[in-house]
Structure 1
């Protein structure tokens, strides 16, 4: 059983650390080192994350396991904080990461169910996300949970233009 903790400014150092660690572990090997370094330095800087934490439409949550160990985090965007749709009836799951040593323990599925509950509690009709087209494991994960592709958008890692699939889930 996992537990979510809504992040605040006090959590900034830990949020910065886990954000960098999970992203680097997941994607460093698949990207140009120079472009990747530029992206990580900006996207996961304390300054950038602090600004996002201060935005009432951006919600970060730490994920703790049954032993109260930090195992991951999520980032959810509403309203104008969304990177694409920006519809009041939708919510974006921008980041969902589980630390590598805790993967394969069904935490991701449990976490996604919690995110769906959060989105429903926010009275949203659609939960959507962007997933890299070259990440078949993640695509299959979202498809297993009912997400369907509805579009694409460009995503830049430094100067490297990549393509994310936009996938959505209709909520009750």
Structure 2
């Protein structure tokens, strides 16, 4: 298998990013962790977060950056998204960088793409932040928390992340 290409996301990736984001969210949080989101809430969240239009708008957001891992056949396998901090922590500022999403498709798990994308994202975040780096992570995702801890992130707080009207308990992680 040819090594997947890590590259900046472009507008033409919007539909594939939306599909990848939608499927990875369902595979991870619904099928994997068994979170019982009410169907209406899950649908509303997925549509708002991962429609091609929503992704295009997010790709154009000032101060945001996106990367994809692309297979030789053009299939998107994973992505990372960073931007100005939006986490609700008293020390957090919009001028600080936040890792917003790091998603790896079920079929690409174990290829090291999450780690590679994280390294690219962290390098970008360090160059585009005037303070600490931030990550929000679901409280039950111990694998992700362990990965982020290996890169120097520590728990700095908690908040609730809305999936429709459902509220997930999330941890706020900070480095620096």
Same fold, TM-score > 0.5, yes or no: yes
Closer, same or farther: CA 78–3 of 1 in aligned 2, 3 Å: farther
When normalised by structure 2's length, the TM-score is 0.82
Aligned length: 167
Give me the whole-angstrom Cα distance separating, in 1, the residues matched to 2:57 and 2:130. 24
Are 1:43 and 2:45 matched, yes or no? no
RMSD between aligned residues: 2.3
Give me the whole-angstrom Cα distance separating, in 1, the residues matched to 2:48 and 2:136. 19
Give me the whole-angstrom Cα distance separating, in 2, the residues matched to 1:8 and 1:110. 19
Give me the whole-angstrom Cα distance separating, in 1, the residues matched to 2:104 and 2:13. 17
The alpha carbon displacement at 1:73 in A equals: 0.4
5+ unaligned residues in a row in structure 1: which ranges?
none
Find the partner of 2:121 among 100, 115, 121. 115
Are 1:32 and 2:37 matched, yes or no? yes
Are 1:105 and 2:111 matched, yes or no? yes
Give me the whole-angstrom Cα distance separating, in 1, the residues matched to 2:120 and 2:60. 23
Q: Which residue of 2 aligns with 1:16?
A: 18
Find the partner of 1:162 among 149, 152, 168. 168
5+ unaligned residues in a row in structure 2: which ranges?
none
Give me the whole-angstrom Cα distance separating, in 1, the residues matched to 2:132 and 2:71. 27
Are 1:57 and 2:59 matched, yes or no? no
Q: Which residue of 2 aligns with 1:6?
A: 8
Q: Deviations over 1:112-147 (max 9, x none)?
A: 122111122335542211001121222122112221
Give me the whole-angstrom Cα distance separating, in 2, the residues matched to 1:93 and 1:106. 18
